[in-house]
Structure 1
Amino acid sequence: MSRLQRSLSDYKERLLGESSALRQAIRRGEHSAMTSGLAPGLVQGNLVILPADWAGDFLTYCQNNPVSCPLIAVSEVGNPALPGLGLDIDIRHDVPEYNIFRDGELVETPTDIASLWQDDMVAFVLGCSFSFEDALQQAGLSVRNIDMDLNVSMYRSNIPTVPGGRFHGDMVVSMRPFIASDAIRAVQVTTRLPKAHGAPVHLGDPSLIGIADLAAPDFGDAVELRGDELPVFWACGVTPQVAVGNAKPPICITHVPGKMLITDLLNAELAIL
């Protein structure tokens, strides 16, 4: 084992107790809030659960859109475990809050989906920008939504995604404000994390990507944009929820935006070194 591998192994061991304890708290219903800023150093994931006869189309959609839908794990059919992301993960219990879509319409937001789980379900976990928020902070950059203890601002854009079978729609983007020099640094940092959406898809004028009002995000919370700052936009893992609304599967279960699955993977393990 190389020195770098040994260092990563020691670092990971220190974090695993924290991630497991946090998932147990979520499973017991003790934490149903957002996960931004929690479990620094560990990969967080967006969730999409579909019946098996819809899973092939969604897999194609992810493959066609690796920036907005960076796939990091797929479960076996009917199996709620994701051992590649954490040996004790049970996807029916370990997300703070779930969105339940029926025929493309959001119908409820439970904190546990054991009663809804079906033997033909497949769980997809996609990389999340909360992972690169940790990298931004490690680089000395201030992340406004974390500083304000708010969920990140997320918006529907007019940037089209590439259809995959029955799934299609425009990209959802997340926004964080930076002064110009910090925005350049943010591009450099996040480019190394393609499995957490990678580099921004847009900087500056939000109207150019179809956003009329930064103070009115479609998901999450509005954050302050100061006079010397640029809004910087990244692809967002809420994008599949727009595609689900268009495809209208009989049932689809996702995370509530901002409330992610916390895994046992290190952000460093997904980074391009």
Structure 2
Amino acid sequence: MTADFDRLRQADLPEVRAAIRAGRYTGHTAGLGRGYLQANLVILPEAQALDFMRFCQRNPKPCPLVGVSDTGDPMMHTLGRDLDIRSDVPAYNIYRHGRLDGTTTDIADLWTDDMVAFALGCSFTFEHALMQAGIPLWHVGNDTTVPMFRTSIPCVPAGPFAAHMVVSMRALPEGRVDEAVALSRRYPLAHGAPVHAGDPAAIGIADIARPDWGDPAPLPGGHVPVFWACGVTPQVAIEAAAPPLCITHRPGHMLIADIPEAAEVPVLAPQAA
């Protein structure tokens, strides 16, 4: 039986992670792990890892790099004391030669000794601050995945990795937009301030009712669509680079680290002797 989303929203991080690791919860992570950094995931063979790291370094807005594993080690030691990248994400996408080949909830049978895992900050991290300020988030309240869109905003390429930025959208009351901008700016490891607010066509989005990933969300009167850079951008770059095998999170299904969400630099305190 799948663990109840409403119950996990109130649970502490160890309980959330245990439910994910055991396969009892395989849904989106918006609203879960309050107080802790959420991260997108990319896993590549070492042969493609350096070019991908360059892509992240050149595009920190959509790709804020918060952790990198040692080659062949599935434990993300800088992000958690017991964080196994093979099982601690609710759902994974499997890409072969740049094409989505399937999804799974555990990648232990796919992990090899030449793999490197990258964790990139996620906008779900600052959503807790928005909600604490009383700014409503429709996708959290309605248990759906935030809508995500391809845009016309170019990224800086690195080797075979190239993409146009992907953004996530939240429809906010027009009187709260400036406040949301100021709050999210405090979280540079979670994409920081939005890249655009207002007319979707200005950034190449033809139909806001038809997201490329996630679920559609309403745009009520008196609300403004606000767009943040999104960690699904690397998945577009992976389509272009077409590595033989790449594993990512399924959009909306994040890795939740042991790092406090307000941390400017991810540093895990050393474990007591």
* TM-score computed with the length of structure 1 as normaliser: 0.91
1:262 aligns with 2:256: yes
Q: In the TM superposition, what is the alpha-carbon distance from 1:20 to its structure 2 partner?
A: 2.1
Task: Verify: 1:247 aligned to 2:207, yes or no.
Answer: no
Paired residue for 1:224, among 218, 227, 231? 218
Distance across 1 between alignment mates of 2:217 and 2:123: 16
1:149 aligned to 2:143?
A: yes
Q: Does 1:51 align with 2:45?
A: yes
Instruction: Give the secondary-structure state (helix, strand or coil) at the position aligned to 2:43.
Output: strand
The Cα offsets for residues 120-172 of structure 1, whole Å up to 9 and x where unpaired, read as 00000000000011111122211121122211010011110010111001000
1:27 counterpart = 2:21: yes
Match of 1:37 in 2: 31
Distance 1:175 1:100 in 2: 25
Which residue identity is paired with 2:107?
I
Q: Distance in 1 between matches of 2:227 and 2:54?
A: 24
Give the Cα–Cα distance (whole angstroms) in 1 for the partners of residues 217 and 142 of structure 2: 8
Contact 1:139 1:189 in 2 (8 A): no
Aligned residue for 1:6? none
- Out of 93, 97, 101, the residue aligned to residue 103 of structure 1 is 97
Quote the Cα distance in structure 2 between the aligned partners of 1:21 and 1:118: 28
Q: In structure 2, what is the equivalent of residue 119 of structure 1?
A: 113
Determine the structure 1 residue equivalent to 2:12. 18
**What amino acid sits opposite 1:234 in the alignment?**
W
Letter matched to residue 116 of structure 2:
V
| Counterpart AA for 2:109 | S
Residue aligned with 1:56, SS: helix
Structure 1 position 21, deviation (Å): 2.1
Match of 1:86 in 2: 80
Number of equivalent positions: 255
**1:176 has 2:162 as partner:** no
Detail structure 1 runs of 4+ shifted over 3 Å in the superposition. Answer: none
RMSD value, Cα: 1.1
State the alpha-carbon separation in 2 of the partners of residues 40 and 136 from structure 1: 12
For the residues of structure 1 that align with 2:133 and 2:36, how far apart are their CA atoms? 16
In structure 2, distance between residues paired with 1:72 and 1:212? 32
Amino acid at match of 1:209: I
Aligned to 1:14: none
Structure with higher helix content: 1
Question: Alignment partner of 1:114: what SS?
Answer: coil
Contact 1:46 1:125 in 2 (8 A): yes
Task: Give the % identical residues.
Answer: 55
Deviation of the 1:181 alpha carbon: 2.1
Structure 2 unaligned regions, length at least 5: 1-10, 266-273
Distance 2:117 2:15 in 1: 22
Q: What is residue 158 of structure 1 aligned with on the other side?
A: 152
